[in-house]
């Protein structure tokens, strides 16, 4: 624990000094430390090779003692974007938003509008899962071949953030070996969706990204 | 009195039917019906973008401080035109060898080509097989939980044509997560 505190101190100093890096944790002034701050995005083939898994993590650097109180913000829409025509414009979206202890999912569906502003696609396939509470075993639901999870998880990101900051800040000239994982022992709020590949494309490469959008 | 009693009976019958209908919809497992009974959540309104992410660490590493918020609200199809030049300047600031004519990384990309790839911040994902950021064979076919994406990026920034340059900068020597991942859904480890 003492070691963790030291690391957090270093991380905080790095944040204050604006010499930070992470996957996307605390990436920009408007979102850092808030409920819409995306920390990471993953897309990978499921254990069942016919499925694709999408993971969006928000609210990084949660210590175990603060994780129980962490909640998804009902004013923040998390949107997985899928371009399957190669123009980097979303052809399909999967939307996730929390309401009263549940995470609701809409899609995959063609969005009524692309770009920076979204409405919730309530005419699309609707799925839901109880948000797993800290300390409970995970709730998972299935609908139309898809699987859903929402709740706190160990932050899957790993990096010697503190030493990178020292290098960028000019107080070190190289990484240490072994390095020290700055994200060890920290949690994030995770949204995980597994969908049949047939719902998002046929073959070849898709372009994907995740967005957080707040209610106006 | 008799008429009133009949009226009362009719009322009872009607309310019984209403009760029955309510019970039936309560026990109906269809999600839509449950939502109606629970008072349907309000999904109205417009949601405006605040943050976005495709590949790991792109905004943090390649976007200048004053532009980080703007990067998050520039749609991917417009990011290259708006940010590629900035990415190239910042890459050559981080890793000056890139400024030398002909200098490339291990993917065979020079400064302009590498930043041209990165400035459009989407994650390319293969629908046909292995999904990994880089596994020694496959490049940019997805991002798996165990992928050591930071070392891959450090190698592509600092490692030169064959990953041999700047060894002290091209690996943070943190190669795996602090908890094992799950082999099945939801894949991520339980929280600390």
Quick one: what percent of chain B has pLDDT higher than 70? 80
| pLDDT surpasses 70 at A198 | yes
Same domain, B21 and B72: no
Q: Structural domain tally of chain B? A: 2
Quick one: what percent of chain A has pLDDT higher than 70? 90
Task: Say whether B51 and A154 touch across the interface (CB within 8 A).
Answer: no
Q: How far apart are CA B53 and CA B67, in angstroms?
A: 15
Same domain, B58 and B7: no
A130-145 average pLDDT score: 97
Picking from B49, B149, B176, the nearest residue to A211 by CB comes out as B49
Same domain, B29 and B60: no
In a domain, A131, yes or no: yes
| pLDDT surpasses 50 at A124 | yes
Same domain, B141 and B72: yes
Same domain, B154 and B99: yes
User: Residue B131 is part of which domain span?
Assistant: 52-172
User: pLDDT band for position A48 (50/70/90)?
Assistant: very high
Over residues A3-16, the pLDDT tens digits come to: 443 344 344 334 43
Q: How far apart are CA B31 and CA B84, in angstroms?
A: 46
| pLDDT surpasses 60 at A94 | yes
In a domain, A142, yes or no: yes
Q: How far apart are CA B124 and CA A44, in angstroms?
A: 10
Same domain, B56 and B29: no
Over residues A63-75, the pLDDT tens digits come to: 999 999 999 999 9
Question: What is the chain A residue with the closest CA to B190?
Answer: A153
Q: Would you call B184 helix, strand, or coil by DSSP?
A: coil
Residues B75-100: b if buried by 16+ CB within 10 A, e if exposed? bbbebbeebbebbbebbbeebebbee
Same domain, B153 and B104: yes
Q: What is the ipTM of this complex?
A: 0.90
Task: Say whether B77 and A89 touch across the interface (CB within 8 A).
Answer: yes
Mutate to test the interface with B, among A25, A199, A211, A216 (most CBs of B within 10 A): A211
In a domain, A74, yes or no: yes
Q: How far apart are CA B13 and CA A72, in angstroms?
A: 46
Residues of B in contact with A44 (CB under 8 A): 125, 131-132, 142-145
Q: How many residues can be counted in chain B?
A: 192
Output the pLDDT for position B32.
Answer: 53
Output the pLDDT for position B15.
Answer: 53
| pLDDT surpasses 50 at A191 | yes
In a domain, B177, yes or no: no
Q: Which two tokens stand for residue B106?
A: 């291990």
User: Residue A98 is part of which domain span?
Assistant: 7-215
In a domain, A2, yes or no: no
* Chain A to chain B Cβ contacts (< 8 Å): 276
Q: How far apart are CA A13 and CA A20, in angstroms?
A: 9
Q: Structural domain tally of chain A? A: 1
Among residues 124-153 of chain B, which lie with CB inside 8 Å of chain A? 124-132, 141-145, 148-150
Same domain, B145 and B77: yes
Mutate to test the interface with A, among B35, B44, B46, B47 (most CBs of A within 10 A): B47
| Cβ partners under 8 Å of residue A28, min gap 6 | B51, B59, B68, B69, B71, B72
In a domain, A208, yes or no: yes
Picking from B50, B125, B128, the nearest residue to A214 by CB comes out as B50
Same domain, B80 and B154: yes
Provide φ and ψ at A61, rounded to 5°: 60, 35
In a domain, A78, yes or no: yes
Interface check for B77 against chain A (CB to CB < 8 A): the answer is: yes
Output the pLDDT for position A7.
Answer: 41
In a domain, A1, yes or no: no
Mutate to test the interface with A, among B57, B154, B184, B186 (most CBs of A within 10 A): B186
Output the pLDDT for position A49.
Answer: 97
Same domain, B74 and B158: yes
Output the pLDDT for position B11.
Answer: 54
Residue ranges for chain B with pLDDT beneath 70? 1-38
Picking from A24, A192, A209, the nearest residue to B188 by CB comes out as A192
In a domain, A83, yes or no: yes
Q: How many residues can be counted in chain A?
A: 216
């Amino acid at each position: 624990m003492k070691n963790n505190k030291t690391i957090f101190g270093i991380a905080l100093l790095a944040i204050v000094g604006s010499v930070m890096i992470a996957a996307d944790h605390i990436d920009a002034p408007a979102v850092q430390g808030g409920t819409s701050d995306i920390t990471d995005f993953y897309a990978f083939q499921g254990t069942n090779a016919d499925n694709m898994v999408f993971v969006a993590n928000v609210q990084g650097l949660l210590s175990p003692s603060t994780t129980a109180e962490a909640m998804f913000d009902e004013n923040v829409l998390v949107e997985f974007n899928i371009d399957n025509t190669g123009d980097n414009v979303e052809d399909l979206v999967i939307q996730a938003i929390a309401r009263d202890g549940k995470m609701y999912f809409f899609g995959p569906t063609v969005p009524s509008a692309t770009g920076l502003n979204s409405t919730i696609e309530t005419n699309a396939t609707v799925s839901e899962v109880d948000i797993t509470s800290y300390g409970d075993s995970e709730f998972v639901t299935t609908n139309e071949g898809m699987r859903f999870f929402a709740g706190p998880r160990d932050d899957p990101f790993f990096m010697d953030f503190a030493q990178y900051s020292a290098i960028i800040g000019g107080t070190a000239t190289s990484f240490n070996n072994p390095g020290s994982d700055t994200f060890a022992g920290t949690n994030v709020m995770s949204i995980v969706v597994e969908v049949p590949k047939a719902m998002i494309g046929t073959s070849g490469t898709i372009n994907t990204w995740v967005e957080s959008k707040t209610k106006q | 009195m008799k008429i009133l009693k009949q009226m009362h009976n009719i009322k009872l019958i009607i309310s019984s039917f209403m009760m029955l209908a309510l019970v039936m919809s309560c026990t109906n497992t269809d999600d839509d019906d449950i939502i109606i009974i629970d008072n349907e959540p309000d999904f109205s309104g417009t949601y405006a973008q605040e943050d976005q992410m495709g590949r790991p660490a792109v905004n943090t590493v390649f976007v200048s401080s004053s532009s980080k918020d703007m990067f998050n609200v520039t749609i991917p199809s417009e990011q290259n035109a708006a940010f590629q030049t900035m990415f190239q300047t910042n890459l050559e600031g981080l890793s000056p060898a890139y400024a030398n004519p002909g200098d490339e990384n291990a993917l065979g990309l020079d400064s302009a080509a590498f930043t041209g790839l990165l400035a459009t911040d989407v994650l390319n994902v293969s629908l046909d097989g292995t999904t990994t950021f880089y596994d020694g064979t496959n490049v940019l076919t997805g991002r798996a939980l165990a992928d050591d994406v930071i070392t891959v990026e450090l190698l592509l920034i600092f490692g030169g044509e064959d990953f041999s340059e700047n060894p002290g900068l091209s690996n943070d020597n943190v190669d795996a997560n602090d908890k094992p991942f799950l082999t099945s859904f939801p894949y991520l480890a339980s929280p600390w």
